[in-house]
Structure 1
Amino acid sequence: MPLNTTSARARLYRRHLVPALSALAIGTALSGCASQEQPASGGYDSRALNEQLVMATVWMQSAAEYRALSYQAFNVARLRLDQALEAHTPGDRPLAVIVDCDEAVIDNTAFQAWLIGRDEQYSSDSWNAWVEDAQARAMPGAGAFLDYAQSRGVEVFYVTNRRESGLAATMENLKRLDFPWVDEAHMMLRTESGDKQPRRDAVLKDHEVALLIGDNLADFDSRYDADDVATRNAQVIQDRAHFGERYIVLPNPTYGGWEAALYDGDQSLSPEEKDQRRRGALRTWSGPQQQTP
């Protein structure tokens, strides 16, 4: 949003609306647009925090720009796969692609939208119910890329942190989308640890991995499983040559390791504490300079 538009709206808000709103209503409304104003003390619940999902979720569900970024990612992935195929010689280990599932090749934003307006945080029970429903949609461009990989003899391994208890439902979901390589040999779900490196290593034993595709940087390297923002950002600088080459990143502003890092890895923080951590991470303009009469 342009700064001049924001300033004009803020002036109108202060002049006409503030006197008519209670302190609680102000805190709830401003949380949805990431204002620097703090919510009213007490009573700040998950329903209020979930309002912050609205812009990110509606962007993922409706913005042409989101679709363009997804198509762009899979177009780049196809180019890189072609390069790997060209360099591949007889006798080399077979080529493979490792993909994450959620927000990498399938879209779960309906679950995020369901949380909006509800006084509850993410829970295993509600997430498992969504998984069992098997209604996640394909990311734009994902199916075409995975089909292309199969047509060129490249195996696809789904390395996801969905739990093993959701294997049958996840396979059903992917089969509904006509994704290739959906069998127990290529489905690598979480058992005990969320660290994906042992599963990536298992693929690497017998395959040459041409590409890794995901929405969370820990889909590429376990060093991104860090509980602070600075470490993750420093790692990106170190790995910058890999992005668009071997690492293909899909956009996901609704959840992920980036959010957990804001909380120092502590997801047990209260909704109000999470809101404060999010606001505290913002870089803020100082505002227009006052003109001296």
Structure 2
Amino acid sequence: MQSLLWVQNAAEYKALTYQAYNLAKLRLDEILANNQSDKPIAIVTDIDETLLDNSPYSGKQIELDENYTSARWAEWVKEIKAAAIPGALAFFKYAKSKNVTVFYISNRSAEQTTETIENLKLKGFPFADETHVLLKTNSSEKGSRRSVVKKTHEIVLLLGDNLSDFSTIFENSTTVQRNKNTDSLRTSFGEKYIVLPNPIYGDWETKGVLEGNYNWTNAQKDSIRRRKITSY
């Protein structure tokens, strides 16, 4: 509840998303000024909590006191009501104005392609079509979809709220591994990787704190969370 209240109410959250997109614009300008690639330039971005705000779905979870369910998530997606994350629309419109292609790689189900594209179009995001929106089919691993983009384009920036949005080394990683890999790639953040804040959900909890086990009871989850808090 605290995480959701922060995302929906704290000006600090909005400040961080503006900061991320301001940095992305600065980096894009630098990249374009020094571009020597023979391929057309592209940006790869996640969708949820990177450029579309799904916090009302989390609000419904709290209202109904329920865990994540694919049926409830599908219900929310079909509403086509996700708002744009502050700063996102201006940045992606700017990228298009500079002849930079945008590819949206998301782990929304491919069955939700129509609703997803409609939501993106409704909010004004460029390249919102089936060629540029690559959703999950058989695997949540995004590296293969990034590889498809690399065949025709030079990916110069990646944006996301989850570290697997940037590199396959973060797939199915423990908390210790995620932190070690983050340290090893420290110069990439703010350079090629632009991270958006998301304290509500993500691999940091499911594959990290909760150790990749999706069958914990609520009581067990509470115990694990408390055990992994550092105090003095």
TM-score, with structure 2 as normaliser? 0.97
Larger gyration radius, structure 1 or structure 2: 1
Deviations 1:31-62 (A, max 9, x none): xxxxxxxxxxxxxxxxxxxxxxx110011011
Question: What are the residue-to-residue correspondences of 1:105-254 with 2, within 5 Å?
Answer: 105-254=51-200
| One of 264, 280, 290 as aligned partner of 2:211 | 264
**Runs of at least 4 residues off by over 3 Å:** none
2:223 counterpart residue number: 276
Within 2, Cα distance between the matches of 1:262 and 1:236?
Answer: 16
1:61 counterpart residue number: 8
Alpha-carbon shift at residue 127 of structure 1 (Å): 0.4
The residue type equivalent to 1:177 in the other structure is K
The residue type equivalent to 1:131 in the other structure is V
Deviations 1:88-134 (A, max 9, x none): 14x61000000000000111000011111423210110001111111
SS at match of 1:149: helix
Within 2, Cα distance between the matches of 1:178 and 1:73?
Answer: 19
5+ residue gaps, structure 1: 1-53, 286-293
The farther-off stretch of 139-148 and 224-233 is 224-233
SS at match of 1:188: strand
Question: What are the residue-to-residue correspondences of 1:37-56 with 2, within 5 Å?
Answer: 54-56=1-3
Alpha-carbon shift at residue 226 of structure 1 (Å): 2.7
For this pair of structures, how many residues does the alignment match?
231
Within 1, Cα distance between the matches of 2:223 and 2:178?
Answer: 21
Within 1, Cα distance between the matches of 2:56 and 2:78?
Answer: 14
The residue type equivalent to 2:223 in the other structure is Q
| One of 32, 35, 39 as aligned partner of 1:85 | 32
Within 1, Cα distance between the matches of 2:168 and 2:224?
Answer: 24
RCO higher in 1 or 2 (8 Å CA, sep ≥ 6)?
A: 2
| One of 22, 37, 44 as aligned partner of 1:75 | 22
Within 2, Cα distance between the matches of 1:275 and 1:253?
Answer: 17
5+ residue gaps, structure 2: none
TM-score, with structure 1 as normaliser? 0.77
Deviations 1:139-189 (A, max 9, x none): 000000000000000000000000010000001111110100001110000
Within 1, Cα distance between the matches of 2:14 and 2:53?
Answer: 11
The root-mean-square deviation of aligned C-alpha atoms, in Å, is: 0.9
Say if 1:226 and 1:232, in contact at 8 Å, map to a contact too: no
Alpha-carbon shift at residue 264 of structure 1 (Å): 1.2
The residue type equivalent to 1:169 in the other structure is E
Deviations 1:207-243 (A, max 9, x none): 1111000000000011112341101010000010000
Within 1, Cα distance between the matches of 2:65 and 2:89?
Answer: 35
Within 2, Cα distance between the matches of 1:185 and 1:269?
Answer: 38
Say if 1:96 and 1:208, in contact at 8 Å, map to a contact too: yes
